[in-house]
Structure 1
Amino acid sequence: MFLHKLRRDSAPSSPEPCRGVLTLEIVRDEAGFYALQPFWDTLVEQMATSSPFVRWDWMSLWWEECRQEARLVVGVLRDAEGIPQAIAPLMLASESDAVRKHLVTLTFLAGFGDAHGERLDLIVPAGREDELTPQLCRVFKILRPECDNVRLNHLLEESPNRPHLLAVLEEAFSDAGVLNRQATRFINLPASWEEYEARHSSKWRNLLRRGRKAFTAEHAGIATQVGERMTIDETMKEFRVLHAMQWAEGISSFTTEASWRFHQRLAARWLPQQRAWMPLLEADGKLVAALYGFVEREQFFQYQSGWDRSLAKISPGKLVIRWAVDCCIQHGLQVYDMLPGDYEYKRQWCDGTRWLLDLEGFNPASWRATAFCALRTVRRWLPRSNSSVVISPNDSQEGNEPVLPPAA
């Protein structure tokens, strides 16, 4: 088997509080940013919440491929010896939205744009948030004159950093609070596939079994992993085509040039390390379904998928999720997280829900922020047109996303 049994601690021990005065530094240049690499993942592995999207590889590759006009403003809390004790991965950038593009936004590094992170946070060791996070959050007050607003997307509601972030936004910015709250569904993985299957109705089980039987008997179907029968480069090339089948042209940011370069580089690093997994399905001698996700501290994060629409009758989208879930169970993972997007298929597969928050606040001294807030107030009072969402024919069966996503 290509995947090995993972042995990672689900709850890293908290380090001892450091002694001496802590110094807050704002790293603005690439040399200072890359100098943080030896310390970055060590701190990430000590966080109370787990996320592959705050790891060094994700953040640094995003910066290299997707930054456009962004500026680094990474807050670093150092001890007396200069060793980083906590990091605020931040940037100044403008969103692509027609109105927000005029705002200079202080946000998480990789917080929006192509290949944005799906779960972001301050990097603070578990158990030290009350000690370190308020000191780290001083960076928001220091940077207020340089931004029109703060927007911190995809913060896990249960993060111990959340109350401290809200406190500094409410103190230093106007109209501060939670902008959006969205569900992220997950599966609490049991010890076996049979145990997981038993949680569902007989109809659900029978449909999946019939699809799997047709896949193997009628199409010579094979379940594999990247690297077993296809190289990483070959698989990624085919995966891009399969993924594009689920979306109208130009809708999915996953296959934009900047994002695709990012994921090709990330996959080349993380697939051999098994930080990324790609369960695959082959039928009739070709790749027909693939799922791409990340492993972090006994959790799997399902990121993107793709499948051949010509085989919709046997539900390859469902079958590749089934194979991915089975792989996670076989290798001792505890959670299968489907990330944001509250679609029906996720409700069918999952038995748990977490919540992600977008926090926001505005610089009271910024005329652009004042104008934006006034315009938004007016727009909220105006009647809204009911725009329909076009759903792909097999959305409820296959687990693929809508062709046109709902408005934010």
Structure 2
Amino acid sequence: MQLRVIDTLEEAFNVKPLWQDLYQRAENAHIFLSPAWNLTWLDTYRHLISRLQFLCVFHSNGQMIAVLPLYERKGEPFRLRFTGTGEPEKSEVFSEYHDVLVCREHVDTVTAILIEAIKSTGKGLVLNNVKHDALLLRLAGEAYPPSLVDNTVAQKRYFMTLEDDGLAGTKLKKKAKRYYNLFTRLGGQLHICSDPASLDAFYSVLTDLHRLRWEGEQQNTIFDDVYFNRFHQSLAGQLLKQGTLLLAYAEVGGKPVSAFYGMKSGDSVYFYQGGIDSGFSPNISPGTLIHYLMAEYAAGQGMKGYDFLSSGVKQSYKQSLAEFSEPVYSTTAYASGWQKLLIKALAFASGVARKAGLR
């Protein structure tokens, strides 16, 4: 097996077929580790990137068997970030569940190779939204001294299984039962995008309902950001072609009342973003309703999991709908003690400057 470090955008796009092949074979594959998500991010946010540091492991037969897509952000010469992270908050795409994409049978060999590769960079790591069982946590723990690794529980992941009896007995079904019955009596319909010609119309329904949801609470929504919007318009088109896009809305009396934007990945559905008309009358709790409709759809398609993704550790509406939760970690690792002191000092100075209105 051989390590190859990819450090340019051109090289990253050139290995897309090999990456896609690995994505189809790896047991831990999910949308946020896909070439579609990560390469679209690279193309959209290339202005943030100083250089790439993709750590790729190849078999002697030429197959890619692991990829850890990292990059150095401009102005951060001492650390690496996972691709899909590090944007300004107003443009953040909220990539989740960062990890090494790897075939299970090669985990031990790949781990040893990547630990040495990470050490050789001489840089630290900044990781967000890492699941407790991620190989990436193990790598950070073994590539850096314990005193130079900070792990914190940043959020919680909320999810439920759809196997066996599907939604039977779930909190979601119990909460949605009355709303679904009313939705049915009112002649409500669920529309799911399947035709590229209708993609723009579905996307407009999503963004309109998202803005309606936050109207009055904030002047702009995330979909008003040019980079965020560009990223998702490009991604949605790719996912639709692949048959993995889930873009839908519930309609009552010819009026959209709630929208769902997510993805099918492996045997699970991931809810990414939505929008609701909370003022619709009679009250059918459009947010709960769209989750129920899409979970029912997913179960009918043979999906085994429904993932709400993560939210803050405090009370979240996802907690009231999901059956299970687990911690999601943020990890910062420093290559040396002096780098840790310097980075923390710079961060402190930047914070002071912001408060003083100097930047």
**Shift in Å at residue 108 of structure 1?**
0.9
Number of the residue aligned with 2:141: 166
Indicate the residue corresponding to 2:107 in structure 1. 129
Residues 226 and 161 of structure 1: is their aligned pair in 2 closer, same or farther, counting only changes over 3 Å?
same
> Separation in 2 of the partners of 1:104 and 1:245?
42
Distance 2:25 2:151 in 1: 26
Give the aligned partner of residue 92 of structure 1: 72
SS in 2 for 1:301: strand
Structure 2 partner of 1:212 = 180
Question: Please, which moves more after superposition, 356-365 or 24-33?
Answer: 356-365
2:355 matched to which residue of 1? Answer: none
In the superposition, relative to structure 1, how do residues 116 and 200 fare at CA in structure 2: closer, same or farther (>3 Å)? closer
Q: How does 1:99-178 map to 2 (within 5 A)?
A: 104-113=78-87, 114-144=92-122, 147=123, 149-170=124-145, 175-178=148-151
2:202 matched residue in structure 1: 235
User: Does 1:40 find its partner at 2:19?
Assistant: yes
Q: Is the 8 A contact 2:176 2:288 kept in 1?
A: yes
Q: Aligned in 2, Cα 1:376/1:115: closer, same or farther, shift over 3 Å?
A: closer
Out of 29-38 and 223-232, give the one that drifted further. Answer: 223-232
SS of residue matched to 1:321: helix
Q: Cα offset for 1:85?
A: 2.9
Q: Which residue of 30, 51, 54 maps to 2:30?
A: 51
Percent identity over the alignment? 21
Letter in 2 for 1:167: E
Code of the aligned partner of 1:118 = E
Q: Per-residue deviation at 1:361?
A: 1.1
Whichever residue aligns with residue 278 of structure 1, its letter is L
Aligned to 1:390: none
Provide closer, same or farther for how the CA distance between residues 64 and 213 of structure 1 changes in structure 2, counting only shifts above 3 A.
same
**How far 1:376 sits from its partner (Å)?**
7.6
Aligned AA (2:16)? Q
* 1:323 counterpart residue number: 293
Relative to its length, the structure with more strand (as a share) is 2
Q: Distance in 2 between matches of 1:56 and 1:372?
A: 31
Structure 2 CA distance for aligned equivalents of residues 81 and 200 of structure 1 = 49
- Residue ranges of structure 1 left out of the alignment (5+ in a row): 1-21, 95-100, 379-408
Q: Cα distance 1:252–1:371, how it changes in 2: closer, same or farther (>3 A)?
A: farther
Deviation, structure 1 residue 229: 12
From 194, 212, 216, the equivalent of 1:245 is 212
Matched, 1:198 2:169: yes
TM-score where L is the length of structure 2:
0.84
- How far apart are the structure 2 equivalents of 1:230 and 1:283? 23
Match for residue 46 of structure 2?
67
Displacement of 1:124: 1.7
Q: Distance in 2 between matches of 1:79 and 1:214?
A: 56
Equivalent residue, structure 1, for 2:4: 25
Shift of 1:237: 1.3
- What amino acid is aligned across from residue 211 of structure 2 in structure 1? A
Q: Distance in 2 between matches of 1:34 and 1:377?
A: 37
Larger deviation, residues 84-93 vs 108-117? 108-117
Structure 2, unmatched stretches of 5+, are 350-359
Q: Which residue of 1 aligns with 2:158?
A: 185
1:217 and 1:364, CA in 2 relative to 1: closer, same or farther beyond 3 A?
A: same
Matched, 1:256 2:225: yes
Counterpart-to-counterpart distance in 1, 2:244 and 2:267:
11
Question: In the alignment, what sits opposite 1:295?
Answer: 264
Q: CA deviation at 1:228?
A: 7.4
RMSD: 2.9
Return the alpha-carbon distance in structure 1 between the equivalents of residues 31 and 52 of structure 2.
20
Query: Kindly tell me: are residues 165 and 278 of structure 1, through their superposed partners in 2, closer, same or farther at Cα, counting changes over 3 Å?
Result: same
SS at match of 1:294: strand
Deviation per residue, 1:67-98 (Å, 9 max, x gap):
3221211112234455433222110115xxxx
- TM-score in terms of structure 1 length: 0.75
Q: Are the counterparts in 1 of residues 115 and 142 from structure 2 also a CA contact under 8 Å?
A: no
Cα separation, partners in 2 of 1:77 and 1:211, compared to 1, 3 Å: closer
- Bigger drift between 248-257 and 351-360 goes to 248-257
Structure with the larger helix share: 2
Tell me if the contact between 1:289 and 1:307 (Cα under 8 Å) persists in the aligned partners. yes
User: 1:184 Cα shift?
Assistant: 0.4
Change (3 A) 1:270 1:224: same
Q: Cα distance, 1:375 vs. partner?
A: 7.8
**Cα distance in 1 for residues equivalent to 2:220 and 2:176:** 29
Alignment of 1:390-405 (within 5 A): none
**Which shifted more, 356-365 or 256-265?**
356-365
Cα distance in 2 between the residues matched to 1:235 and 1:324: 15
d(CA) in 1 for partners of 2:192 and 2:333? Answer: 44
Q: CA deviation at 1:230?
A: 8.2
Which whole-Å deviations, capped at 9, do the CAs of 1:320-351 have from their partners, x for residues lacking one?
11101100111111110110115442222222
Q: Structure 2: which amino acid aligns with 1:198?
A: G
Structure 2 CA distance for partners of 1:209 and 1:76, relative to 1, 3 Å: closer
